[in-house]
């Protein structure tokens, strides 16, 4: 009897072997959905850029001062801000001065007392963010931050930033933030849903 989802064959799986499910059939609803970026929190931008750019070959696509924190967006050397919506292999680095006394760790660092989280979120590019959110809800998953909202509480930042103790979040960042959304995966990780084209202020 065939399994209802051949791309996820039922176990148990033989130990020490690669299981190669058949490819999933085409899905018109998600044909242009792409894994776009990962976000990491960093402590030392100079050291991080030396590692990711000089050592591993990425380059800085843009730097964005959001007010209480700074974003460094990295990608392959042929990536520009105009091609972000179609690019792959992007990395978003958050330098949050409010976290200066918080030790970041990997999710693999079990048992580290007093440590904070370094991993931020996974970003997906989609043609229509609202359509993607409706799809997420139809599948029974949670929308954390819908389109149009720009409150600091939905930005995944330290409490000191949310309370405004580190200054105000720039209107430029809020304009971008209103155009994207966040949903929660089954393990609680934040997944950012990003439009293929982020509109500048004054555009449609």
> For residues 184 and 198, what is the distance between their CA atoms, to the nearest angstrom?
22
Q: What is residue 25's predicted lDDT score, i.e. its pLDDT?
A: 86
Per-domain boundaries in the chain: 31-195
Contact 186, 140 (CB under 8 A): no
Which of 97, 148, 157, 152 minimizes the C-alpha distance to 121?
A: 157
Residue recorded with tokens 């990425």: 58
Task: Dump pLDDT digits (tens) for 161-202.
Answer: 889 898 899 998 999 999 999 999 887 888 999 999 888 887
> For residues 66 and 115, what is the distance between their CA atoms, to the nearest angstrom?
25
Q: What is residue 82's predicted lDDT score, i.e. its pLDDT?
A: 92
Q: What is the mean pLDDT of residues 49-60?
A: 91
Q: Where residue 1 falls among pLDDT bands split at 50, 70, 90?
A: very low
The matching CATH number, chosen from 3.40.50.720, 3.30.70.330, 3.10.180.10, 2.60.120.260, for 31-195 is 3.10.180.10
Percent of the chain with pLDDT over 90: 50
Element (H, E) at 177: helix 171-177
Q: What is the overall mean pLDDT for the chain?
A: 87
Task: Report cis status (omega within 30 of 0) of the bond before 183.
Answer: no
- Which listed residue (131, 159, 192, 196) is catalytic? 192
Known active-site residue 192: yes
Q: Strand, coil or helix: what is 1? A: coil
Element (H, E) at 174: helix 171-177
Q: Where residue 109 falls among pLDDT bands split at 50, 70, 90?
A: low
Distance of CA 35 to the CA centre of its chain: 9
Q: Where residue 86 falls among pLDDT bands split at 50, 70, 90?
A: confident
pTM: 0.80
């Amino acid at each position: 009897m065939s399994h209802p989802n051949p791309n996820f064959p039922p176990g148990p799986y033989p130990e020490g072997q690669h299981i190669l499910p058949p490819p999933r059939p085409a899905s018109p609803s998600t044909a242009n959905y792409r894994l776009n970026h990962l976000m990491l929190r960093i402590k030392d931008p100079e050291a991080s850029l030396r590692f990711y750019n000089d050592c591993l070959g990425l380059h800085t696509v843009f730097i964005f001062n959001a007010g209480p924190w700074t974003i460094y967006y990295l990608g392959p050397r042929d990536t520009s801000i105009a091609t972000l919506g179609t690019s792959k292999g992007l990395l978003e680095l958050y330098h949050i001065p409010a976290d200066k006394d918080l030790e970041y760790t990997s999710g693999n660092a079990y048992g580290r007392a007093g440590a904070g989280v370094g991993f931020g979120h996974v970003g997906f590019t989609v043609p229509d963010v609202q359509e993607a959110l409706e799809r997420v809800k139809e599948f029974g998953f949670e929308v954390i931050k819908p389109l149009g909202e720009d409150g600091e509480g939905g930005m995944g930042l330290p409490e000191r930033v949310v309370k405004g103790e580190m200054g105000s979040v720039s209107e430029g960042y809020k304009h971008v933030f209103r155009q994207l959304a966040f949903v929660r995966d089954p393990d609680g990780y934040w997944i950012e849903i990003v439009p293929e084209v982020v509109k500048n202020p004054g555009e449609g």
